[in-house]
Amino acid sequence: MLGKKWIVAAALGSLLTAGHALAADKKVIAVSIPAADHGWTAGVVYHAQTAAKEINAAFPDVNVIVKTSPSASEQVSAIEDLSASSKIDALVILPYSSEELTEPVKAIKDKGTFVTVVDRGLTDPTIQSLYVAGDNIAVGKNTAKYMIDKLGGKGDVVVLRGIPTVIDDERIKGFQDAIKDTGIKVLDIQYAHWNSDEAFKLMQDYLAKYPHIDAVWANDDDMLLGVLEAVKESGRKDIKLALGGNGMKDIVKKVIDGDAMTPVETPYPPSMIKTAIYMTVANLVGQAPVRGTVKLDAPLITQANAKEYYFPDSPF
């Protein structure tokens, strides 16, 4: 596995070296991402816009254009408009929907465009020149391993799922595989759709239904906020751990502060879009010919390393 910080540093270093060697023709990199409809995508927009600003300021012969779309159909229209209005040397896309975006992206790839896909892969992986994503199985597995250790290998837990997607399935698989053959018992597991309000209501139901709960895993930090509020209002003292995932700054701050109930976090950083943009630009200037898949690991964020993952200016 390649660490996110190393990849960004290497790609940016290559860009700086190549800064004065770019061809006279301006290279155009279109970045197409979902609009900020929840915390994680707000972080994606923030990091994409930051990368574009940095690269455009440093390299006058590179133009990074960021477009956000509130739906799959509007994202299709956005990339088609970009492709029609100017020559795109590269497309960096986090698809709103894998199925709906596959054919439109293929049409752009067929024109000779370098295509970098982030997070949600296309249904035809051959379209992707480069694929950058986090490790969702590791998010679930590493969270479970910490929980097993802290609970002494046994305990009653409840789990909150996101929405029915491959991402959610992989996180749950990682968690369930890790607790197999241990004394950890999952009392209940239901969807809360990566939504704080739904998670609050679901956690209230769990608290009413189960008189003893040792730990909670909400596989996304937006849900974890709702869980923590429900536990706080209940006054229950039996819950030893409430863990999430994704690296939301509010949760990372809890880790930094040594919060007893949420002492660790697992990253699935929206800043992966920035990594993808840097690597794409480096490919275009001939300094980092990277193809294939780059998967970012999900090591535990602890009090010892949490400041590396804390972005106070980010919306997420």
Structural domains of the chain sorted by starting position, each given as residue range(s) with its CATH number in brackets: 4-135+269-297 (3.40.50.2300), 136-256 (3.40.50.2300)
| Structure confidence at residue 1 (pLDDT) | 44
Beginning with the edge strand found earlier in the chain, give each strand of the sheet holding 183-191 in spatial order.
Answer: 183-191, 154-161, 215-218, 241-243
**pLDDT value at residue 267:** 92
* DSSP alpha helix (H) spans, 110-165: 136-150
Confidence at residue 97, expressed as pLDDT on a 0 to 100 scale: 85
pLDDT at 22: 42
Q: Name residue 174's amino acid.
A: G
Residue 132 is predicted with a pLDDT of 95
pLDDT of residue 103: 96
Any idea which residue has 């949600």 for tokens? 120
Q: What is the DSSP letter of 3?
A: -
Report the alpha-carbon angle 231-308-44, nearest 5.
75
For the chain, which residues score pLDDT lower than 50? 1-6, 9, 16-24
Q: What pLDDT, on the 0 to 100 scale, is given for residue 51?
A: 96
